[in-house]
Structure 1
Amino acid sequence: MLCSTIRQILVNTERQYGPEDAVRYKIGKNKIESKSYTQLKKDSESFSCVLEALGEQGSHVAVIGATSYSWLAAYFGIVNCGSVAVPLDASLPADELCELVDRADASVLVLDEIRKDVGEAVRERCPKLRHLISMQKEESGEEALSFWQLLREHEGPCAYEPDPDKLCTILFTSGTTGKSKGVMLTQRNLAENATCLDMKIPPRTVILSVLPIHHAYCLSMDILKGISLGSVICINDSLLRVAKNIKLFQPNMILMVPLMIETMAKKLEEVSGLPDSLVKRQIFGKQFHTICSGGAYLPPAMIDLFNRYGITILQGYGMTECSPVISTTVSWNIRKESVGQLLPNCEAKTVDEELWVRGSSVMLGYYKMPEETAEALEDGWLKTGDLGYADEEGFVYLTGRKKNLIITKNGENVSPEELENKIGENRLVQEILVREQEGVIEAEIFPDYDYAKKKHIRDIRAALQQILDEYNQGAPVYKRVYSLKVRETEFEKNTSRKIKRY
């Protein structure tokens, strides 16, 4: 069912699945606690009443913390009463978080105590902040108000009906270059992005949420789409415990980025001699059937590998500026070389090799950055910055990023991502960055040293050079790699785990 506000999603689902589990999370080593859809609606509406009582209805409210039930109740309470949520990355340094809180004009901060240091810093550095609310404190005090005490004191319904086209969330990008930008998304942007496509995911599907909650991909697909389907959202408490939590929560589906998928693929490789059905049962459980992939390039071979174990990978493509999904694969129509079909609420065209998209998911613009907004939007079209096209059936194909293009001495354009994806298919290549260096194309590679050890590869540089030589044999002259740099450590990455290029 298509919804145009986030409140509609929660209200509709609560009406249908009220007493059923909405969220499950660990409260001990192997002990699970759950909250129903009725409880989530009640707690979120109580937080709406809290904001009204504080005189902050309509204000900007920053939320910092790992995925938790408190985080979810706070988010829905914020956006469903006409306020603006500003989810921030809890892993950022305190000074960066203070800067973002201030740039977002947040007057309220809801904070997880894991970042108590931020609570101390914002008092000095964020003059516009009027209220600090702790997710864990049992009682309100001078330093911070207690989230749960506030909910008890202001318990009650909130019947406010948000305007679909009003700003409801500001998400800061974590690009590989430049200053982060505050993407302004409306109720319609997020709600229609999550509900416009029927992916035939069964109601009450059990989802294990492993991605950071401040990510548009997690917020839209795990949370908003999950809730629209009446799913059970299980909260993974640590990336170090994903395997254990899969056994504990027994999910049917997980949303992942390719880096996680490739890590799991290595585990599958280690037990490749065992029967496929046994491996699946031991690692994922017999109930598990779907991985949704997004955020970066996924080698098509991964789709085939997981399919062996009865697991379907649905690859998607998007960006925060599009709430975030632009295209996604559906289980009955998979094309491995594509990043899926355009969502029903999205159209695309190619302008000078760059993919432009338009539709109800496209952002309002960047918060207080008019020049950057004007550069990104033209007559309602969002310039994605990606090189690619959509075919007649709406399948999207990408070749790289426009700003990363290498222009060779003879004027040829080379997409470094195209080369990185091709060379990176080799098991010895763990991470790769292709760039222009002193007039030639250079590949800087961080090899998989564990794999090299297992395969008794002593001269790693020579083995990598051989990989480049084999690639060069089949590549046009202008796409050949003539310089190799071998790294001993991983590349520096942003919070989305993408390599920083500059």
Structure 2
Amino acid sequence: MREISSPALPAAVTGGLADSVYDWAEREPGLVQLSRRDGEGWRPVTAAEFRREVLALAKGLLTRGVRYGDRVAVMSATRYEWTLFDYALWSIGAIPVPVYPTAAAEQVRWILAETAAVACVVEHEDHAMTVGAVCDALPELTGIWQLDRGCVEDLVEDGRGVPDALVHRQRLGVGPESVATVIYTSGTTGRPKGCLLTHGNFAAAADALLGGWAEVFRDTGGGEPGTLLFLPLAHVYGRMVQVAAVRGGIRIGHHGVLSTDSLLPALASFRPTFLHAVPYIFEKIYQRAREAAEADGRLDLFEQAAETATSWAAAREQRGLGHGPGPGPALRIRHAAYDRLVYSRLRAVLGGRVRNVMCGGSTLSRELGLFFAGAGMTVYEGYGLTETTAAITANPPGRPRFGTVGKPVPGASVAIGEDGEVWVRGGGVFGGYLNHPRCTEQALYDGWLATGDIGSLDEDGYLTITGRKKELIVTSSGKNLAPGQLEERVRAHPLIAQCLVVGDDRPYVAALVTLDAQALSHWLKTHGREQLDIWSALADEELHAEIQRAVAAANTTVSRAESIRAFRLLPKEFTVEDGLLTPSLKLRRHAIADRYAADIEELYAG
């Protein structure tokens, strides 16, 4: 088993996560710690103000009967009040349990029942009705508090007579070993399990990023660092961003809709200096920029600029790794010219101040990483699980190797088993699953976590993830295939939204392909076919040939036995709402295969 480790940072983890709020208010009361949406703008929230709000809400929770160790569910999109509830609950030693706002009633019932939640914070009436529909099966649940009906104000009012000292007594009882939250896995297969993550897990993971990547977060070109959190706070990655920002004294704002149409105006107004994101965001931004250039008759210019950006970033990458001199004079001149014409406009879309981005959740293509780095926004891809409290590896500052997920974060280790499985250990690795000791024993061994992912370490210790053990496809001829990288290659085409490779116990590999609705509309318009409905479009020979070229290009990266021999275009994208994507936008393979079983059979007919 090959192993690589990164030395731990010298600072020891002490106390609970809420201590950061009170410490910053004591040291720098005027520090702008958060920004709240205020109409079209943002209202600053200082460290002293945030402490007052957290303390007041914590006292209200005590009056409603929430006690040390109690679990309180939060079902909401990403918003300021979620962060407020997290730190108020942590202030009294209670345990927030995130629930995805898109969760079905049965999923809500399962999570609230297994965690024995005593209350549930919901965002609006629809969420309240979802919880209310299953509350008869939840005897421990004593309250449903609704954000858009003023539950924060009501709780604060209830707690006015509670002395501050009562909250502080509860807070001082919280240590690194105390459970901070129960986060349920995405559940691509089987029923999701609750990961018990401690205050120490979050603190260690946050401090590893804040210490190891300080220059990334502080590279602002002047001014104070700030980031806009638009990842779901129900997911461990979004929660990690929140904790790291508050712990590191970095201004944070909230935006609850993960779509480019909604997100880009928010970025333009907030003007972050760095971002945490998922590959989906960069894919959409690149695609929209390309479509806009084509609509303006500047597609050739955009494609030349993209090629220059990729070449420039690749040359800088090699220099950073000690393997080359960097961009040559001609390339530097072309890059400077395109920076004025193309790249500066792209940076303006993200607010104009973003220089660095941490990216995770799924695989970002090497080409896209190089493009954005060449456009002036370096993407540091990382890798982690709910069980590792988000990132356990990340590309090091100044030395990214695009297409990999980097090296272990400080204090972490990565090893590759004989079967190619990735094993990890470190301060962020969880202690086990709630009420599932057998699953815990299967996942953990002597401090090591078996991730279930397949990967490899290169000669410099950079990790590449190639697939999931449970997702390996074995054709009827005995050929093994990890579908993830092939699917990623197909998805590189701007028309393609998603790709699911199939072929288990089949004579060859095939694929289900969905199209990006906006990209398809753009393609139909530019090809004089805007009058076609979706079914006519899917039957269009030229469109089919365009997708065939994307599949053929992807096939060049694998052997013939692993290549896609047939594909089926589907009329709509897979979504979280229809149960075909996890909330973190991963494919639910079994659910998709069941839903489209007839289409898969037709791929192999005859």
TM-score scaled by length of structure 1 = 0.91
1: CA distance between counterparts of 2:502 and 2:465?
19
Q: In the alignment, what sits opposite 2:226? A: 206
CA distance in structure 1 between the partners assigned to 2:32 and 2:556 by the alignment: 56
Aligned equivalent of 1:58? 69
Q: Partner residue of 2:248?
A: 229
CA RMSD of aligned residues (A): 2.5
**Is residue 65–residue 89 contact of structure 1 (8 Å, CA) maintained in 2?**
yes
Deviation at 1:393, TM superposition (A): 4.7
Q: Which residue of 2 aligns with 1:89?
A: 100
55, 59, 62: which one pairs with 1:49?
A: 59
Contact 1:247–1:284 (8 Å) recurs in 2: yes
Distance 1:179 1:317 in 2: 23
1:77 to 71, 80, 88: 88
Q: Among residues 30, 55, 60, which one is paired with 1:19 in the alignment?
A: 30
**Structure 1 residues 22 and 471: CA distance shift in structure 2, 3 A:** closer
Q: 1:106 is matched by which residue type in structure 2?
A: A
Q: 1:256 aligns to what? A: 277
Aligned partners of 2:30, 2:264: CA distance in 1, in Å? 29
Residue 595 of structure 2 corresponds to: none
Greater CA drift, 80-89 or 210-219: 80-89
Structure 2 partner of 1:324: 390
Cα distance in structure 2, aligned partners of 1:73 and 1:247:
25
Structure 2 counterpart of 1:439, from 471, 482, 507: 507
The answer to whether the aligner puts 1:104 opposite 2:115 as a matched pair is: yes
Q: Which residue of 1 aligns with 2:558?
A: 475
2:355 equivalent to 1:339: no
* Contact preservation (8 Å) 2:13, 2:176: no
**1: CA distance between counterparts of 2:273 and 2:502?**
40
Deviations 1:98-139 (A, max 9, x none): 331112111122232352324533543311112333334447
Q: For 1:243 and 1:291, how far apart are their aligned partners in 2? A: 15
Structure with the greater alpha carbon radius of gyration: 2
Residue 369 (structure 2) aligns with:
303
Are the aligned partners of 1:135 and 1:146 in contact in 2 as well (CA < 8 Å)? no
**Does the aligned pair in 1 maintain the 2:206–2:240 contact within 8 Å?**
yes
> What is residue 266 of structure 1 aligned with on the other side?
287
CA distance 1:470–1:497, change in 2 (3 Å): closer
Contact 1:317 1:327 in 2 (8 A): yes
2:583 is aligned with what amino acid?
T
Contact 2:74–2:82 (CA<8 Å) still a contact in 1? yes
- Between the aligned partners of 1:445 and 1:428, the Cα distance in structure 2 is 10
Change (3 A) 1:431 1:455: farther
Q: Give yes or no for contact 1:24–1:33 (8 Å, CA) kept in 2.
A: yes
Residue number in structure 1 paired with 2:323: none
Measured after TM superposition, the shift of residue 46 of structure 1 is 3.4
Deviations 1:224-277 (A, max 9, x none): 111122111111243442111112111112221111111111122223647125
Q: What is the 5 A alignment of 1:163-178?
A: 163-178=175-190
Letter matched to residue 202 of structure 1: R
Distance 2:57 2:386 in 1: 26
Given the superposition, is the C-alpha separation of residues 496 and 139 from structure 1 closer, same or farther in structure 2, using an over 3 Å criterion? Answer: closer
SS of the counterpart of 1:482? strand
**Cα distance in 2, alignment partners of residues 170 and 500 from structure 1:** 22
Residues 88-487 of structure 1 mapped to structure 2, 5 A cutoff: 88-114=99-125, 115-118=127-130, 120-121=132-133, 123-138=135-150, 146-154=154-162, 156-157=164-165, 158-159=167-168, 160-161=171-172, 162-197=174-209, 198=211, 199=213, 200=215, 201-202=217-218, 204-221=224-241, 223-239=242-258, 240-269=261-290, 270-271=292-293, 273=301, 275-280=341-346, 282-351=348-417, 352-391=419-458, 393-436=460-503, 438-448=506-516, 449-450=520-521, 452-453=523-524, 456=527, 458-473=541-556, 475-487=558-570
Identity of aligned residues (%): 24
| Bigger helix share | 2
2:473 and 2:483 in contact (8 A); partners too:
yes
Distance in 2 (alpha carbons) for counterparts of 1:411 and 1:119: 47
Which position in structure 2 is the counterpart of 1:494? 582
Gaps of 5+ in 1: none
Where does structure 1 differ by over 6 angstroms across 4 or more consecutive aligned residues?
Answer: none
Report which stretch shifted further, 388-397 or 287-296.
Answer: 388-397
Q: TM-score, normalised by structure 2?
A: 0.76
Query: How far apart in 2 are the matches of 1:65 and 1:112?
Result: 5
With 161-170 and 467-476 compared, the bigger mean Cα shift is at 467-476
Higher alpha-carbon deviation: 491-500 or 473-482? 473-482
Letter of the structure 2 residue corresponding to residue 85 of structure 1? P
AA matched with 2:98: P
2-side partners of 1:446 and 1:281: how far apart?
A: 29
Residue 17 of structure 1 contacts residue 230 of structure 1 at CA under 8 Å; is this kept in 2? no
Q: 1:34 to 1:154 in 2, by over 3 A?
A: farther
- Match of residue 39 from structure 1: 49
SS at match of 1:233: strand
Determine helix, strand or coil for the equivalent of 2:589: coil
The answer on whether the counterparts of 1:3 and 1:9 sit within 8 Å (CA) in structure 2 is: no
3-state secondary structure, aligned to 2:160: helix
Change in 2 beyond 3 A, CA 1:36/1:151: farther
Give the letter aligned to residue 32 of structure 1: W
Q: Secondary structure at the match of 1:365?
A: coil
By how many angstroms is 1:465 displaced?
Answer: 2.7
Contact 2:236 2:386 in 1 (8 A): yes
Per-residue displacement from partner, 1:273-301 (whole Å, max 9, x unpaired)? 47125413541233222222110010111
- Contiguous gaps of at least 5 residues in structure 2: 1-10, 294-298, 303-340, 528-539, 575-579, 591-606
Paired letter, 1:488: P
**For residue 289 of structure 2, what is the amino acid of its counterpart?**
L
What is the distance in 2 between the residues matched to 1:283 and 1:368?
46
**Partner Cα distance (2:159, 2:134) in 1:** 23
Name the SS of the counterpart of 2:382 in structure 1: strand
SS at match of 2:177: coil
Tell me, yes or no, if the aligned pair for 2:264 and 2:349 is still in contact at 8 Å.
yes
The letter of the residue matching 1:495 is P
Question: What is the CA–CA distance in structure 1 between the aligned matches of 2:395 and 2:28, rounded to whole Å?
Answer: 27
CA contact (8 A) 1:408 1:478 kept: no
Q: CA deviation at 1:379?
A: 2.1
Q: Displacement, 1:67?
A: 2.4
Aligned partner letter, 1:82:
G
Q: Which amino acid aligns with 2:239?
A: L
